[in-house]
A = this chain, B = another copy of it.
Amino acid sequence: MNLRTDLALEQREINAQNETDGIDCEEYKKGNIKVTRIKITNENGEQKLKRKMGSYITVELGNMGETTANHEAATAIIAEELKALLPKEGLILIAGLGNDKITPDALGPECASLIFSTRHIGKELQKSIGFENLRPVARVIPGVLGQNGIETGEILAGIVREVSPAALITVDALASRRLSRLGCTVQLCDTGVTPGSGVGNARAQISKETVGVPVIAMGVPTVVDAATLACDLIGENSKGKIDPNSERMMVTPREIDLLIEHSSKLVAAAINSALQPHMDINDLMALVS
């Protein structure tokens, strides 16, 4: 029985609490917000954390109430961490992954709908509306395999080839092991993403190997697997007691609709801020909502 988690941080809690060869770790705190940077540097680290070599950054925002109060500080910190992973210039393509018809999976589509796309705004028009030197940005909401009959990775590969971005940012809902993290933690990594893993329906990886440009994956936990929660509570020895229905069940806050709305805005604000650092973030968000 697996404790399912999309967070490198939680995988480390399970398999590698102490110092481990191939796993570097550093932390800092700013107010209530805690940032952990995990770097997997060799195959031993890969095996322990069940992830590819690369950087995994977790921004923990405190509880849900604090998350809302910390909105501006959190935006700034996430934007800084994102900037460090992004190429300094060139077009950035943002893809909002997930199914917009299933609330806890709608984080990606909601977030992408709040991205300020600029690739189509000519220099002339930029001047006339009072913006200058906008970084080119495009976004896409690809939908999911079950709706489209096309793998998300295929759609993104096709569009990437067409528009040639310097990097792709994906945003997706994640699964966590802990209720306390739902809507309160943001993960960034530079190794790509396996869409659908957050809702138990993993698809082909989207990474530099498959789409041809660097892929920065961002996500927020929106569910805990009911089976994972049960396991955590009763331990591995008592599997028999777990309701088989829990396989298709998830645990979320009652206000999952609100959680998705807040988390989408937070991640979108961080991305918009990282990409247009000269603009006021409130003005920017007003343009897209």
Contact = CB atoms under 8 A, between A and B. Distances in A.
B147 A246 contact: no
A144 to B, nearest CB: 10
Interface of A: 101-105, 113, 117-121, 136-143, 145-151, 154-155, 157-163, 178-180, 182, 199-200, 223-224, 226, 229-230, 233-234, 241-243, 245-246, 248-257
Given A103-B103, A158-B162, A200-B254, A150 B178 contact: no
Among A139, A251, A256, max chain B CB count under 10 A is at A251
B248 A253 contact: yes
Contacts of A180: 243, 245
> 5 closest Cβ contacts across the A-B interface?
A117-B149, A158-B158, A119-B149, A138-B149, A158-B162
Given A102-B257, A140-B143, A150-B138, A161 B159 contact: no
24 contacts: A102-B256, A103-B103, A104-B254, A105-B254, A113-B147, A117-B149, A117-B150, A140-B142, A140-B143, A140-B150, A141-B143, A158-B161, A159-B159, A178-B245, A179-B245, A180-B243, A182-B249, A200-B254, A224-B249, A226-B251, A229-B230, A246-B251, A249-B251, A249-B252
A252 B253 contact: no
Contacts of A178: 243, 245
Contacts of A104: 254
A158 B138 CA distance: 15
Given A248-B253, A256-B103, A155 B140 contact: yes
